Structure 1
Amino acid sequence: MELFDQIVAFCKEHPIQGALYASLFTWGLTGLGASLVFFFKKLNRAVLDGMLGFTGGVMVAASFWSLLSPAIENSPGEGFMKVIPSAIGFALGALALFGMDKWLPHLHINFKDNEAEGVKTNWHKTTLLVLAITLHNIPEGLAVGVLFGAASTLVGVEQTEMVIAAISLAIGIGIQNFPEGFAVAMPLRRQGVSRRKSFWYGQLSAIVEPIAAVIGAVAVSFFVPILPYALAFAAGAMIFVVVEEVIPETQRDKYTDIATLGFIGGFIVMMSLDVGLG
């Protein structure tokens, strides 16, 4: 645990750098998952649905254990008043992703070409698939950054706990990013895209995570009063993505049970990381 303690100490001293490094880690695992396209010719649909279900489970668990719970704990007041900042932030996060979903052209995995969402465009299907996963990754990066930024506003044991929560979240998101990278690269390969380009686009889908993480960390570090709103905002964005993007992608075939089991597994993994490391 000495290495872990050193990482925690570094992140307490340099929370914004911690957010950057943590999100680079999650991006790297996306690339690692996408690299499997060099070793496999196809991806079984049942495996894909299970992976997507796992992703959804991690995101839902993270939304509560890593984001909403600390948002409420760090809100002033008692009773219903204590929940108001989290409720407002949660709603704003969902609305923000709702707007992006309506505006950004994208195509979900397992969906047909004519089912693309967002502004109508002639962009290639490859681009639309990558943008769909990019939508997943924006709130994930933001969530990591907000937690690291939150740590900079605290002291003592509370700061340590927040840093550990941020690291736990980064690990959880990184774990689910691995199959997500594979889930992006393989459909592209199946459409005739070269292995190298499939890998490139697969890892590229997570490039927004470091950007969103740094923005979230800086915002919370310099505007402390927005902390509970920012934590809940990230949670609302993640829940919207799960309900609007991830779950529908797993319900297109006959493997819904596998997707459900994957969801439960992802939830357990993220819950265990957050509670266990905390």
Structure 2
Amino acid sequence: MNRVLQPFASTQPSATWPFMIGSLLVALACLWLLQWTAAPELQDSGVWMGLRGGALCGLATAIGALPVLIVRSIPQRLADALLGFGAGVMLAASAFSLVLPGLQAARAMDYSAWGAGWLVSAGLMLGALVLLGLDKVLVDDPLDARRALVPSRLVVFVLAIMLHNVPEGMAVGVAAGGRLPEAASLAMGIALQDIPEGLVVAVVLAGAGMARAKAVFIGVLSGVVEPLAAVLSAMAMTVSTLLLPWGLAFAAGAMLIAVAHSVIPESGRHGHGIIASIGLAAGFCLMMMLDTALA
């Protein structure tokens, strides 16, 4: 089964969509480039590092969506492999950049090994339950098709992508706000997997009949939540270091649910489970090496 997604819609887009795409790209690029012009003391702050990492991830998502403006189709097998790759990166990030530092932070607060394990487990379960609750509230009651920017049959997919971008941004912000050595590798790893993710979002929307420029705009927009989540999470970490293990565990739980509930099922839905699983393993290995090399 090596089906190709249906050729993308050829409807000529309104001039508004390219302008909106360009505006989002410029905004994300400016957020990221500000790191080179800020005062040194500002660059060293956890909130600024969170903004920088979140903007990088959002920009990567936007860049991934852009090729849909010129390509007409993409093999379904490749799309599923890319989703699997993203799932592997997120799983490795949960383990090496969130759970393990969370355990270390708890031990540094004089918790015993068992106590640290229980604390991180509680935070992880809390993050998982919150994301599942949001998923149920936002997805089980889809928007009316006449008012929706996205057709109602695609609302579930788009909301799932946006929801799992939230814990990605949270993870970057928590690591930056806690001044963890893994923060740089985590941001880079998530940005790498955001490139194919942005492509897949735009491909699915365009393949379902949406005008290509509009599909790219939604793909770019799906990454905008990451810098916002990163900044809010980094700000929370600056309030008290006691929040660090809880924040890391919460982000890990939300990310695990996003992978298990949305990304992995979508990657295997078209019968390409083997290639998606290989992509998952490759993504896991890449993120593991990034975490080791850049920490």
Q: How does 1:213-224 map to 2 (within 5 A)?
A: 213-224=230-241
Greater displacement, 225-234 / 188-197:
188-197
Structure 2: runs of 5 or more not aligned = 1-37, 146-150
Distance 1:30-1:81 versus aligned 2 partners, 3 A rule = same
Q: How does 1:81-160 map to 2 (within 5 A)?
A: 81-105=115-139, 118-123=140-145, 124-125=151-152, 126-151=154-179
- 1:266 aligned residue: 283
Deviation digits for residues 63-112 of structure 1, max 9, x if unmatched?
Answer: 0100000100011322211212101110100011110111112xxxxxxx
Distance 1:66 1:180 in 2: 20
CA RMSD of aligned residues (A): 1.9
State the Cα distance separating 1:121 from its structure 2 match.
4.0
Q: Partner of 1:122: helix, strand, or coil? A: coil
Does the 8 Å CA contact 2:103/2:120 hold for their aligned counterparts? yes
Name the % identity: 39
Opposite residue 73 of structure 2, the aligned amino acid is K
Distance 2:41 2:224 in 1: 24
Q: How many positions carry a matched residue from both structures?
A: 250
The ranges of structure 1 where at least 4 consecutive aligned residues each deviate by more than 4 angstroms after the TM superposition are 9-12
State the Cα distance separating 1:135 from its structure 2 match.
1.2
* 1:229 counterpart (246, 250, 268): 246
Q: Partner of 1:104: helix, strand, or coil? A: helix
TM-score normalised per structure 2: 0.81
- 1:108 aligned residue: none
- 1:188 aligned residue: 205
Distance 1:194-1:19 versus aligned 2 partners, 3 A rule = same
- 1:72 aligned residue: 103
Distance 1:79-1:21 versus aligned 2 partners, 3 A rule = closer
TM-score normalised per structure 1: 0.85
- 1:4 aligned residue: none
Distance 2:271 2:42 in 1: 44
Deviation digits for residues 226-278 of structure 1, max 9, x if unmatched?
Answer: 11011000000000111111111122122111000000010011100001112
Distance 1:11 1:69 in 2: 28
Does the 8 Å CA contact 1:68/1:231 hold for their aligned counterparts? yes
Distance 1:79-1:128 versus aligned 2 partners, 3 A rule = closer
